[in-house]
Chain A
Amino acid sequence: MSALTDVLESLGARVTRSIHRLGFASRFLLLTLRNSGMCFRRFSLVVREIYFAGVLSLIIILVSGLFVGMVLGLQGYDTLVRYGSSSALGVLVALSLVRELGPVVAGLLFASRAGSAITAEIGLMKATEQLAAMEMMAVDPIARVIAPRFWAGVISMPLLAAMFSAMGVFGGYLVGVRLIGVDEGSFWSQMQAAVDFEEDILNGVIKSVVFGVAVTWIAVFEGYDAPPTAEGVSGATTRTVVTSSLAILALDFMLTAFMFRGA
């Protein structure tokens, strides 16, 4: 019996701890947003972080996008050809990518590559007292270290998602038209007829911006809150990837339900 109450107690403790952390994280986000003035006055700080978060993620995003698009092409053809609708392959590939796979998969990849790197970097800066040193030198570390990374993530995410989708469409084209032999004209024309700019593409961009905010917020917070030890930083990095991934999938569901109702 006491074992059961112990389990319940620890569960309750974990829940309250999570809620505490969530509150702290929210305050932290507000603090970051309030201290973002320097980011816009000295945009070079943000540019530098866009390089580390965005540019260095390019390869993985482009290659993954290509492969996802190619797989969509193969699997999509396999299914559509049974109903004689193989000319709709372009529609299938494009809509899957633009609406869902682009923002979500790019978000997951971004979380694991750039998000974990941001967490590790900030955590390490905290562990080696660099953030404390900056504070003692009368430079607010949130304005100078955290906020640029946050905005860099928010800016990079939609661009990466767009690149992922574009590469995916190209991959689908390569497999469908070049490899399998679906008619090129109907591939593009049906796609263009079916994919609506406002409903599909814009919604996909909105999704990727939301994901960018979520992933980068989690990444900078976990880094800032990490215990200043080696295990602390590594645990924080893992938590960033896990929490970001779950957040992306949950937000995706909510956004999809909201945006694509009855479409």
Chain B
Amino acid sequence: MMNRKALDLWVGVFVAIGLGALLFLALKVGNLASFSTAETYLVKANFDNIGGLKKRAPVKSAGVVVGRVEDIVFDTENYEATVGFSIDTRFEFPKDTSAKILTSGLLGEQYIGLAAGGDAAKLKNGDKLKITQSAVVLENLISQFMFNKAAEGSKDGK
């Protein structure tokens, strides 16, 4: 039987490696490092169609992640989707910032893109964005394309 000291040493090494692996996974593989402890403020925006936007989707501005989608609610008053998202307090946005739902890559996941306006006043916790652009729905795009093509064709034909 191994003596106690060697045993304890190896078990300590084992547990240390295990915790290290867990830490590696959490920080290097996952996204723990980026956003868990930052302070955020909540902002809302209404969209006609959120497409495939999901909770915890990133909110980016100029391509950099500045926040996360927190909740998506259906507004029964004006039949739109109200998306609530949190923005890191480090980043301030003007009151006339616009929000668009964009897709990363061709078939990737959808995220919210913020384009800053020019207003001097800044967004505060609980504010609502006025200018929004909904997600691009592929079916609408295709039917629009076909409609355009048909219109073009008939114009040429005439």
Contacts and interface: CB of A to CB of B under 8 A. Distances in A.
Contacts of A188: 28
Interface stretch (B6-14, B39-47, B78-86, B94-102): B6-14
B18 A160 contact: yes
A191 B26 CA distance: 11
Contact of B14 (A58, A98, A193, A205): A58
A245 B92 CA distance: 53
Interface in A142-173: 156, 158-160, 162-163, 165-167, 169
A197 B18 contact: no
Interface string B1-42: 010100110110111011101101110111111101000000
B32 A165 contact: no
A196 B27 CA distance: 10
Contact of A195 (B8, B14, B31): B31
Contact of A162 (B4, B25, B32): B25
Contact of B31 (A167, A196, A205): A196
Contact of A159 (B15, B24, B33): B15
The dominant DSSP class at the A interface is helix
A54 interface: yes
A50 interface: yes
B11 A191 contact: no
B11 A47 contact: yes
B56 interface: yes
A200 B7 contact: no
Contacts of A50: 11, 14-15
A166 B15 CA distance: 14
Contact of B18 (A94, A162, A199): A162
Interface in A182-206: 188, 191-193, 195-197, 199-201, 205
B4 A166 contact: no
Query: Size range of the interface on A?
Result: 20 to 34
Given A44-B4, A47-B11, A163-B17, A192 B24 contact: no
Interface string A7-19: 0000000000000
Interface in B105-155: 105
Contacts of A156: 14
A48 interface: yes
11 contacts: A44-B4, A51-B7, A98-B29, A160-B18, A162-B21, A165-B21, A165-B25, A193-B58, A195-B29, A196-B30, A197-B26
Given A51-B11, A196-B30, A199-B56, 14 more contacts: A44-B8, A47-B11, A48-B7, A55-B14, A85-B105, A156-B14, A158-B22, A159-B14, A159-B22, A166-B24, A166-B29, A188-B28, A192-B34, A197-B26
Interface of B: 2, 4, 7-8, 10-11, 13-15, 17-19, 21-22, 24-26, 28-34, 36, 56, 58, 105
